[in-house]
Amino acid sequence: MKIMISACLAGENCKYNGGNNRHEKVLALMSENEVITVCPEQMGGLPTPRVPSEIKDGVVTTKDGRNVDAAFRAGAARCLEIARRWQPDLIVLQSRSPSCGVKQRYDGSFSGKLVEEPGVTAQLLMENGFRCVDVEDLE
């Protein structure tokens, strides 16, 4: 099976704070499948580490109030381009991220509150027919 994966789940230090979300189930998938990793925020040109962002009123905004929507959407578009070319059977993404969250993301208030909506990359990939799952929902 061909699987596209959030790069932080594979142990790449691309998370906003310079760390990763290395996940044992993902590492197991990587050993048994054909895998490609993507980090939409880095691919949109954002540095690591970076100020955390959330989606507020449809616009991706950093905790210190900067509009980074264009970078997030550029990274999402780049991921879609790769998915269209590579045609993964499954896309496994980091839960609750403003880019990668599939079922949920934070609500834009930086208070830890969640909304039942996807991040920008997950949304774009799903709108284009790709099968996405949160890492937390891996069987």
Interacting residues with ligand SF4 (CB under 6 A): 6-8, 14-15, 39-41, 94, 97, 99-100
Q: Which two tokens stand for residue 41?
A: 């925020």
User: Is 91 or 139 the residue whose CB approaches ligand SF4 more closely?
Assistant: 91
User: Is 100 or 125 the residue whose CB approaches ligand SF4 more closely?
Assistant: 100
The least distance separating ligand SF4 from the CB of residue 20, rounded to whole angstroms, comes to 8
Q: Which two tokens stand for residue 17?
A: 């704070």
Q: Counting Cβ atoms within 10 Å, is residue 39 exposed (0-12), middle (13-18) or buried (19+)?
A: buried
What is the per-residue DSSP string for 89-113? SEEEE-TB-TTT-SS-EE-SSSSS-
The least distance separating ligand SF4 from the CB of residue 125, rounded to whole angstroms, comes to 12
User: Is 34 or 60 the residue whose CB approaches ligand SF4 more closely?
Assistant: 60
The least distance separating ligand SF4 from the CB of residue 84, rounded to whole angstroms, comes to 18
User: Is 14 or 91 the residue whose CB approaches ligand SF4 more closely?
Assistant: 14
The least distance separating ligand SF4 from the CB of residue 96, rounded to whole angstroms, comes to 9
The least distance separating ligand SF4 from the CB of residue 9, rounded to whole angstroms, comes to 7
Q: Where are the beta strands (DSSP E) in the chain?
A: 2-6, 34-38, 53-56, 59-62, 90-93, 105-106, 114-115, 132-134
Q: Residues near 68 by Cβ (< 8 Å), separated by ≥ 6?
A: 46, 53, 60, 61, 62
User: Is 6 or 61 the residue whose CB approaches ligand SF4 more closely?
Assistant: 6
Q: Which two tokens stand for residue 130?
A: 């790709």
